[in-house]
Amino acid sequence: MKLAYTLFIILAFSIFPAIAADNGKKPNIVIIYFDDLGYGDISCYGAMGLKTPNIDKLANEGVRFTNGYATSATCTPSRYGLLTGVYPWRNKEAKILPGSAPLLIGTEQQTLPKMLKKEGYQTAVVGKWHLGLGTGVVDWNKKITPGPNEVGFDYAYVMAATQDRVPTVYIDNGYVDGLSPNDLILVDYDKNFEGQPTGKSNPELLSMKWHHGHNGSIVNGIPRIGFMKGGESAKWSDVDLADHFLQKAKAYVKSHKAEPFFLYYAMNQPHVPRTPAQRFVGKSGMGPRGDVILEGDWCVGELIKTLADEGLLDNTLIIFSSDNGPVLNDGYYDDAVEKSGNHKPAGPLRGGKYGLFEGGTRVPFFTYWKGKIQPQISDALVCQIDLIASIAKLVGAEVKNTDSENLLNTFMGKSNKGRKNLVIEANTKTAFRKGDWLMIPPYPGDPILEEVNIEVGNSPEYQLYNLKKDIGQKQNLAKGQPKKLSQLIMDFESVRGDYKNVEKIELK
């Protein structure tokens, strides 16, 4: 009997090594998710001219990945992949959603917060949602359902979509926060409401000038995507957005520290419109985009300080990343291009948001757990879809029918073994990473994005890059390496399955 008990203890600790800390209490899990933050936008990844000390401290004391990926080069699909562990291209609706879109994640679908709830976790999302709400016809003046609460979050304090889209209100567990029953909200993405000023018709009312696309309803002097009427008492103050979400995240940590919790802190920085609090204005010398990155770094520092003050930092796994790569001109005149100087938001990578080049999906990505993870840099290939399977392993749960791979040892710094291949996506187009190679199939151009100088990586010919030797993707090896290209195409199709986007070309 004594031998059996000893063997049981050894087995338990070998299966669940990370849980055994802190008197057996399961670790808290915090995902800090930036929005449009590029591989080269923080100083620990080589940012020029920007200093992000709070983020750097975590990255330098954890596992900093040089081959860490979002699933997509745009926001909604990446968030879908993060929370479900499923490639977004498997869901034809997983694309950039308007603020009035129906809930993208099925209420019956397996999600990261659902899995953790079953293991005794409290779950929360604070910040940007952008995964749809309701069933497609939303009455913003009543309880909005289904939403984050119906896919696993006990607490959800979010914006519906993005800061540049209506409705510009906070949603607290399905209800618009601060809404007056005497001033109801109306939202439409097709036509304006009679008599309502817009960025296009009333430029004299603007404090921020739109460049492209953002010429709908005006809120706080900023023109948005879509049209909105009413709800004046509920509208947010743009310059206070970061502070407001931070306060909610800190309050959640303080009030839920007795039991293990999962906090998905989905920040807005540096997505447009870039509206730093006054104390950060001009701080970066790079205009509003640089300023909000510094603001985001400060927010991270404040959240970590709260975890430390509450005695939680030693038993909290922190995962940091971004939903996609960077973009400078994304709809407003805000000097992002003019004041970038020597700073390269994507670092050594080519491209950025919306594109299939590396700058679109390879992003800052690191894990931190004080005292449990040893500082190191890892070149293992990892993706945000791998979090659900890896965290399931950590807490002793099981997930099925996902694209997620269990890389817990890699995320904990105990292995440098990553996934063998990865399908990346941008605007419903897909490409294939395997080993040191990236293969991009032929795609037609995107005139709308190309018109505003956004490089999307589309070409009428196959593209093949050896990323180990050519991280900047300057040399297309497709014609010079036909056997490698042919093999990658076959491997890609074996994963992608229904890929029939282009006619086959003869490979010699």
Contact between 330 and 272 (Cβ < 8 Å): yes
Q: Which domain holds residue 326?
A: 35-178+238-421
223 and 349, same structural domain? no
449 and 407, same structural domain? no
CA of 119: how far to CAs of 15, 84, 114, 253, 260, in Å?
Answer: 16, 17, 9, 18, 10
CA of 383: how far to CAs of 362, 403, 415, in Å?
Answer: 9, 10, 15
Average pLDDT (239-251) is 98
Give residue 504's pLDDT: 36
pLDDT over threshold 80, residue 90: yes
pLDDT over threshold 50, residue 7: no
Q: How many CA atoms lie within 13 A of 33 on its CB side?
A: 27
Average pLDDT (61-65) is 98
Question: What DSSP designation does 130 have?
Answer: -
Provide the 10 A C-beta neighbour count for residue 314: 14
pLDDT over threshold 90, residue 263: yes
In a domain, 128, yes or no: yes
In a domain, 446, yes or no: yes
Q: Which residues contact 2 (CB under 8 A, 6 or more apart)?
A: none
The per-residue pLDDT for range 370-411, each reduced to its tens digit, is 999 999 999 999 999 999 999 999 999 999 999 999 999 999
Of 173, 176, 222, 172, which is closest to residue 202 (Cα–Cα)? 222
In a domain, 18, yes or no: no
272 and 191, same structural domain? no
In a domain, 14, yes or no: no
The model's confidence at residue 453, banded by pLDDT at 50, 70 and 90, is confident
358 and 322, same structural domain? yes
Average pLDDT (104-113) is 97
The per-residue pLDDT for range 275-286, each reduced to its tens digit, is 999 999 999 999
Give residue 14's pLDDT: 44
pLDDT over threshold 90, residue 42: yes
pLDDT over threshold 80, residue 5: no
In a domain, 146, yes or no: yes
Q: How far apart are the first and last CA of the chain?
A: 67
Give residue 445's pLDDT: 87
Give residue 223's pLDDT: 98
Contact between 114 and 147 (Cβ < 8 Å): no
The per-residue pLDDT for range 116-141, each reduced to its tens digit, is 999 999 999 999 999 999 998 999 99
247 and 355, same structural domain? yes
115 and 87, same structural domain? yes
The model's confidence at residue 451, banded by pLDDT at 50, 70 and 90, is confident
pLDDT over threshold 80, residue 498: no
193 and 146, same structural domain? no
Judged by average pLDDT, the poorest of 4-18, 349-363, 408-422, 466-480 is: 4-18
